[in-house]
Structure formats: C-alpha cells, structure tokens
Amino acid sequence: MIKEITAILILFPFLAALCCYVFRFSTVRSIIVLTTGGVLAASAIFLIPMTPFSIAAPALPGPGIHGIIQILDFLLLFIILYFGFKHHSLVIIALAAFQIVLLAYFEFFLISGEAAVTTIYCDYLSLIMVLIISIVGSIICFQALPYMKNHETNLQLTKTGQHRFFFVMILFLGAMNGLVLSNDMLIFYFFFEVTTLCSFLLIGHDQTETAIKNALRALWMNSLGGAAFIVALMGIYHETATLELQRILISGTPAAGVYLLSLALLCFAAFTKSAQFPFQSWLLGAMVAPTPVSALLHSSTMVKVGVYLVLRLAPVMANTFLSQCLACFGAFTFLSAAALAVGQSNGKKVLAYSTISNLGLIFACAGLNTPESILAAILLIIFHAVIKALLFLCVGTIEQHIVSRDIEDMRGLYATMPLTALITVMGVIMMIMPPFGVLLSKWMAMEAAARNLYAIVMIALGSALTVMYWARWAGTLMSDPFAGRFKPESQPILTWGALGSLCAGAGILSISAPWLYRAMLVPALGKAYLPPFTANNGILENVTGAFAVFPLSLVAAVGFIIAVWAVKRAAGARIVMPYLSGVQTTESAVFTGPMNRPVKAEAKNYYLSSIFGENRLTAWINLVAGVLLTLMVGGAL
Amino acid sequence: MMSNTVLVISGLVAGPLLGGLISGLDRILTARLQSRIGPPVLQPFYDVIKLLGKEKMVVNVWQAFCAYCYIAAASISLVMFFLRSDLLLILFIQAVGAVFLVIGALSSTSPFSQIGAHRELLQILSYEPLLVLVTVGIYLETGSFKIATVYSWSEPLLLKLPFLYLVLGYALTIKLRKSPFDLSTSHHAHQELVKGLLTDYSGPFLALAEIGHWFEIVLLLGFCSLFWATNWVGMMILVAVTYFLEVLIDNVSARMNWRWMLGYVWAMGLSLSLVNLIWLYAG
C-alpha cells in the first residue's frame, strides 16, 4: 500500500501532466487538473498514518532505478544545455556542461557498487512537506484554471499556451514530492534540477522579452546551485562513502575538512533555490509570469526546497561555525529583505521580498540549531506556505480586476471588491498578529535567538519593518470611500474556493497549533532534538516562556465578534466626510480651495524610498550577503 | 484559578482607573511646569465620559472595528501582564493594538489621518525593536521571559541593565506621545497635523482609543516596574521618577521630525542596548 501511494504522489503528476499536454481541450484539462489535485491531496493524507517508512530500491527490469535516474539526469542537463544554446547564454552553457562532466565522472568513475540502498524515506518532516505540496500546490493549480482563461482573454492570444502551462505546473508538484521523499541524494539531485527547469519554463511562459530574460536569469542562478550541489555530493561521498541521506545524517558532526565544505556548498545551493541575497533577483523577476506561478514558486514549491534541504542537514551541522554563519546570514536576509519591502509600492514585489525575508528567518532558525528554533522553522514553513499562497492568489485576483499591482491603486478596494479585500486583509493579519501561526513561530524564533546577539538584533529590527509594510497595505485596502452594504463581488467558484480554503486553512491550523505540535511537529524534530515545549490546555510552555494558543485564540475570537458587531452598529451611525479643515465639500476627499474651486485632497503612503529604495540598498545588501557567504564557505575550509 | 480570575478583573479595572488618574496627574504636573493651575485630576474621566455620550459618527465603518480591536488588544496585553505571562508575547499583543489604530486612521482619506498614520508606523518602527531588546536583556539576566520569574528575582534588574532602562525610556517617551517624539498625534494641538492619527476618530470611538491608551500607559509603567521588582517602595519611586522625567522632557523639548526620530532612536537605542547586552553575554 505504501509503495502504491508513494508512486501515486510522485509519478501520477508526471502522467497527468503528459495528458494535459496531449489533450488540448479546456474541459478535459480542467478535469485532469481537478482530479490530479484531488488524488494528490488524498494520497498525502493517506500517508499520515503510515509515516515513518522507507522503501528500498525497487527491482526494475533493465537498467534499474539508478540507471533510469541516470539517463533522465543527463537528459535533463542536455535540455538545459539546449536552452543555453538556444538563448545564447554562455553562463548557462558553461554551468550545464560543468554539471554534465562532473556528473559523468562521478557516476561512472567514483561511485562503486550501490551507493544508496533505500530509495525513499519518509519521516514527519517529509510528510509535512508532502502535505503542503499536495494540498496547497493543488489549490493553486485549481485557481489557475479560471485565472489562465482570463489571462489569455486579456492578452488576446489566438493560440492557447495553457496545455504547456498546466503540463509544467503539475509536473512541478510531482517533482517536489519526489524531492522531499527521496533518500538517495542522486535522485534528490535529479528532482532538484527538474524544479530548476520547471521554474524556468513557467517564468518564461508568456514569451515576452522580459519573461525570457527573467527566466534565463532564474535558470543560470539555479544552475549555479545545481553545480554547487553536485560538487558537494562528490565531497560527501568521498568522506562518508554513502549517498543515503539518512546514513549521512548519522555519520556524526564534521569538525572541518571536505565534509564541512560540502555541507557549506549544499547551503549555498539552498540559498540559490530559496532566492537569498545575492540571488534574490531571479525570484523578483519571476513575477512577470502569471500569478499562479508566483503563488506556486513562493509558497509550496521551489523556494521551500532550499529551506527543506538545510533543515534536513541541520542536525549534522550542530555546533559548527557553519551553523553560526547560517544563523547570521539568515537573520541578515530577514532584516534586509524586510527593509527593501518597506520601500516598495508594487504589491507583488512586497510579497516577493516578504518571502525572501521569511525564508531568511527559516535559515536563521536552522542555523541557531536549538529545538525551539528548528520547531519555529518547521512551523514557519507550514504557515508561510499557506498564507503566501493565499496572498498571491488575492493579488492575482485583484490585478485581473483593476489591471494594476500597485498598492496605491488598491486604495479603497473594499468599495469595489469587498470580499477579496477582506480576505487579503485577513491574510495580512495572519502574517503579523498573534495568535496566528506565523507570529507563533516568530515568537519561538526570537526566544531561541535571544542567546545570539547578532541574530536577535537583526531579527528585532526586521520584525518591526515587517509590521510596517504589512500594516500599511492592510490600511490602504480598507480606505475610503465607504461602500455601504456588504455585497460580495462575483468571481469564478474555483477562485472563491481557493481563497476561502486557504484563508480558513491558515486560521484552523493556527488554532490547532498545540495539537499539531504533539501530533506532527515533535516527531518531525526527530531524535536529534528534544521536544522544547509542553503542550497542556493548548498552552505551549517551557521554562523560558509561554504562548497560550487556545486561550488567546478564544479571547481574540471574542474580541473579533465584538468588533464585527461594532461594525454592524456603526453602519447605522452617521457617515461623515473625512476632516478637511472645515472646508470639505459633500464629495469625499474634495475641499473648497482658493477662488471657491473644488480641490481633491490626496495623500499617498510613505514608501521612504530615500532610505529603503532598491537602488539605494540593493548593492550594499548584495555586498554584505556576498561577504557573509564567503565567510560561510571559506570558514568551512 | 480563583486568583487568576481576580488578576484578570483587577487588570481590566486597574488599566482605565490608574491610566486615567495618571493622565490627570500628568496634566496638572504639565500645567504647573508651565505656571498654570491645570484641570482637576479627574478631568480625563470627565472628557471620556462626555465622549462616550456623543453621537456616533464615522468616516468609514472600519474605524469602529479598529477602535474596538485596539482597546481589546491593549486590555488583553495588560491582563496578560497581570497574569505574569510571557513578556515577548505581551509585546506582540500590544503591537496588534497599535497596528489596528493605524489601520483605522488609514481607512479615512483625510490627509491628516493618513500622514498621522504613517508617522505612527514610523514610531512603531522606532520603538518596537528596542522593546524587544529590553526584553532580551531581562531574559539574559533572569533566564526567562516570564514576568513571574522576573518578579521573584532577588536583585533589582536596574543594577544590571541600566542602559537598557534608558532604552526603555526612549520607547516610553514615544509610546506616551511625549515631545520630542509626539509626531503622529499628541495631547496638544498640532498646527500642521490637527490631531494626526486620531483626527477622524470621534465621539465614542475616540473615547475607546483614549481608554486603550490608558491601558498602554499602565502596561508600559508595568514594564518599568520590572526593573525594581524587589520591593514596593523602590518600584514606586522608580516609576514615579521615570514618569516625572517624561513630563519634564515633554515640556523642555520641541517636536522633531521622523527622520531625526528614526535615526536618533535607532542609533542611541541600539548602541545602548548593544553595550548592555554585551555585558550580559560576557558576564
């Protein structure tokens, strides 16, 4: 049974993706996408009671599983090479060629015998990832169905590219499932490269000049990560004589030497995937793609590969200089990405920087390497995935309606799109306020970081900046003019379904955090970390602190109900014009100016671009990040 | 369980009562410093009661929502303080209130509210990290973020965390809306910004915002009291002296702009915190 479900999780998407590509009718495509999503989500849930488990390499006829992966690996690299030649990108050609040569040398000359016996290994960390990928990823694909229809109508395309689009989207989910379930590092590497290729194809989907340019940038940056990965694999094999992830993890903590360097290179690869500074530009460029792509890349796939990889390796890195560097680097990214987000008025860019920032915090937690911080990291992965998917889908929906992604253009959105605006505000609130999950993990992260001076100062500053850019956005959405009675706008049922389920899901997950902690997170910490909290009566508590999840949620719910009741009552109150020094007219935001002429009063948000602007900060941040990276890799030597 | 209920209720009662009383004393003290007599000590209560009785007027119904959320968060954070809960968590909950007040102001298109709201965000940006670092200092000294542990600590924290107490002073000045940091709104009329953040809150909703502010005053003075938690007399003296200094600073300084505030508070606050924290790490 386990084998079948695992096979479904990994292989079924590949099959469905092919069907999407072959059968180019929109009804058939919708059915395939919906079925795949349903099947994936169901299989992921079926996996829960079976975890943990491992599966040995199946005895396949012919070349066997290793042979097949080998062939596919080279095929993949040659495809990347092809794209390098097609777009005349020397970097991509060089990196692909480098990987081909290295992989060939590694596979045919270095590896002797069976390097990995157990192909699949699933513990609770993998399970959590599979659940995120299969459920959140599927919801994003569902929403993509109506979105892409609108998208192509708006672009007035004569030939549809949807078969290509959904081919890659669904393939992506399969590759991600394969990645988090594989125990054989070579298979991991294969799926690692598949996600690189998939994101390249998705970013370039619209085939405009910018799209192609940004897609190529994503490809070379991630190929750099791939190259680092393969070098690291060779180093690890040289030291431990195994390529099994689980065997590597029990091989003890490396003091120095090739092993530690390899781990540093793996961290490097993770940084490219997770778009940490100085590799952030590929993720920022990815927003040229249709919004579901961003939602997928930012929440449940791609960028989560990096943090997953580092979290996996965290136990081996405990008490090393590498781990300290990682904490510093992550905290720095958390701070600087938040600073850059403050300077942005482009909604998608704010979301992108927020993703980079949160991933930085996850890396910092992995680097702090205490039970609390690792727990915080896992929680953050879960909640960030759900809420970021929600916010991207919201922005996508808003963008198709108002034809802009600028926060200034969303002023007073509540008047025209009340329900979407409300859901977006809910998403924002869940990002920054207790008792919701993101803040719960931030609380844990801060308490864990308190013993690390660098990390805590940067995290404290970063989290204040975070509050600033989110609060500003939420306020802007709720701005005047007052809309009168609440009447939800009309949207396709799949859109409402996706937004509603993600929003409700995030809320329910937040409330059930103590239960989640006992059922999944403690087992996910594994043997390397002791459970850091006790969870009694819904209160997570230890010697240093306490977070009363249930009581606070209850009180917050009561407060919320009272506030909603206040809104209902206020609807009967006298609605007046905003204060304009006593010369306001009967029209909102218009006052009587000189010569009795009406003048429109306007106020825009502070974006403080003289301090937090991209052209002001990016170069410096890249420089510092580069220095920290060098320190990290060099320190491992 | 019984004692917890008592603590919750006393928190809910003490907040507005003490906060209002402190505001009244503040006004008298300020008046005396300016050679005026000042209003009766209960004047803030009269004001709020009057506001509560006024007609409900809103620019946007979300103001009502935000006013209620603000007072809810402010009172919850004070109750958590009375329950001797986790300091960091209390900070987070207090921030929720501050953010809702801003969102409420942003829901009006009046430039006064808008600019006031953005300045308030900058104020939050200035003091929030400092409060976190103060909390971290307390943790490093006592080994816990829980107030219960801090109150049972045998030695006054002020002796080990003198610089962090100064840092707390910066945060307190901003939070109490005192000059030179009363950028977003203040107790006095602002020429350029009317009432800033609170311009479009009126009647009962303004009253809620005022009561919420009282809760916050008590919470912050509670934070100060942690630094001399060994006996009541010391605690009272510390808090009284601190508040008197706040009023004094308010009266002798002019209002500055946000650039200065952000630069000055971060530079001074961070350096002082760092020095004090490094002592603790080294010690």
Dump pLDDT digits (tens) for A289-320. Answer: 999 999 999 998 999 999 999 999 999 888 88
Alpha-carbon distances of A1 from A6, A46, A118, A119, A477, rounded to whole Å: 9, 10, 17, 16, 49
The rounded radius of gyration (Å) of the Cα atoms in chain B is 18
The yes-or-no verdict on residue A483 having pLDDT over 80 is no
Q: Is A510 part of a structural domain of the chain?
A: yes
Confidence of residue A255 (pLDDT cuts 50, 70, 90): low
Q: Which of residues 449-508 of A touch B (CB under 8 A)?
A: 450-451, 453, 456-457, 460-461, 463-465, 467-468, 471-472, 474-476, 478-482
The mean pLDDT of chain A is 91
- At A329, which helix (H) or strand (E)? helix A321-342
By the 8 A CB rule, do B184 and B116 touch?
yes
What number is the average pLDDT over the span A259-278? 93
**What residues in A contact B76, CB-CB < 8 Å?**
552, 555, 559
Q: Is A164 part of a structural domain of the chain?
A: no
**φ/ψ bin of A482: left (φ > 0), alpha (ψ from -120 to 50), beta (otherwise):** beta
Range of the domain at A349: 320-529+622-637
What residues does A541 pair with on adjacent strands? A534, A546
The torsion of the CA quartet A253, A258, A261, A267, rounded to 10 degrees, works out to -70
Give me the number of domains chain B comprises.
1
What residues does A120 pair with on adjacent strands? A55, A182
Q: Can you tell me the distance from the alpha carbon of A315 to that of B39, in angstroms, rounded to the nearest whole number?
A: 64
The yes-or-no verdict on residue B1 having pLDDT over 70 is no
Confidence of residue A356 (pLDDT cuts 50, 70, 90): very high
By the 8 A CB rule, do B108 and A578 touch?
yes
Contact A443 B146 (CB under 8 A): no
Give me the number of domains chain A comprises.
1
Dump pLDDT digits (tens) for B11-52. Answer: 899 899 999 999 999 999 999 999 999 999 999 999 999 999
Closest CB from B69, B88, B125 relative to A563: B69
Dump pLDDT digits (tens) for A393-443. Answer: 999 999 999 989 999 999 888 888 889 999 999 999 999 998 899 999 999
Q: Can you tell me the distance from the alpha carbon of A466 to that of A341, in angstroms, rounded to the nearest whole number?
A: 8
What number is the average pLDDT over the span A609-619? 91
Q: Mutation test of the interface with chain B: which of A334, A443, A480, A575, choosing the one with the most B Cβ atoms within 10 A?
A: A480
Q: Can you tell me the distance from the alpha carbon of A431 to that of A350, in angstroms, rounded to the nearest whole number?
A: 13
What number is the average pLDDT over the span B122-128? 95
pLDDT attached to residue A349: 94
**φ/ψ bin of A160: left (φ > 0), alpha (ψ from -120 to 50), beta (otherwise):** beta
Q: Can you tell me the distance from the alpha carbon of A587 to that of A574, in angstroms, rounded to the nearest whole number?
A: 15
Contact A482 B99 (CB under 8 A): no
pLDDT attached to residue A256: 67
Residue A72 burial (C-beta neighbours within 10 Å; 0-12, 13-18, 19+) = middle
CA-based nearest residue to B198, from B98, B53, B50: B98
- Say which residue the tokens 């100064």 belong to: B166
What number is the average pLDDT over the span A1-20? 92
CA-based nearest residue to A169, from A305, A33, A298, A273: A33
pLDDT attached to residue A306: 95
By the 8 A CB rule, do A573 and B58 touch?
yes
Residue A195 tokens, joined:
């996600």
What are the helix (H) ranges across chain B?
A: 2-33, 43-52, 62-82, 87-106, 111-142, 147-151, 157-160, 162-175, 203-225, 232-252, 258-282
What are the helix (H) ranges across A87-208?
A: 90-105, 124-131, 137-155, 162-181, 185-203
Percentage of chain A with pLDDT > 90? Answer: 69
**What residues in A contact B122, CB-CB < 8 Å?**
468, 606
**Strand arrangement of the beta sheet that strand A546-548 belongs to:** A534-536, A539-541, A546-548
Secondary structure in 3-state letters for A235-279: HHHHHHCCCEHHHHHCCCCCCCHHHHHHHHHHHHHHHHHCCCCCC
| Nearest residue in A to B266, CA atom | A461
Q: Can you tell me the distance from the alpha carbon of A481 to that of A469, in angstroms, rounded to the nearest whole number?
A: 22
Range of the domain at B145: 2-282
- The number of C-beta contacts closer than 8 angstroms across A and B is 209
Confidence of residue B255 (pLDDT cuts 50, 70, 90): confident
For the question of whether the overall pTM of this predicted structure is more than 0.90, the answer is yes
Dump pLDDT digits (tens) for A157-176. Answer: 888 889 999 999 999 999 99
By the 8 A CB rule, do A298 and A388 touch?
yes
By the 8 A CB rule, do A83 and A92 touch?
yes
Dump pLDDT digits (tens) for A108-127. Answer: 888 876 666 788 999 999 99
Confidence of residue A497 (pLDDT cuts 50, 70, 90): very high
By the 8 A CB rule, do B163 and B276 touch?
yes
Residues 6+ away with beta carbon under 8 Å from B42 = B20, B24
pLDDT attached to residue A114: 66
User: Is some CB atom of chain B closer than 8 A to the CB atom of A543?
Assistant: yes
Q: Can you tell me the distance from the alpha carbon of A124 to that of B111, in angstroms, rounded to the nearest whole number?
A: 52
Dump pLDDT digits (tens) for B175-203. Answer: 999 988 988 888 776 767 888 899 889 88
User: Is some CB atom of chain B closer than 8 A to the CB atom of A590?
Assistant: no
Lowest mean pLDDT among A338-342, A384-388, B60-64, B246-250: B60-64
Q: Can you tell me the distance from the alpha carbon of A303 to that of A299, in angstroms, rounded to the nearest whole number?
A: 7
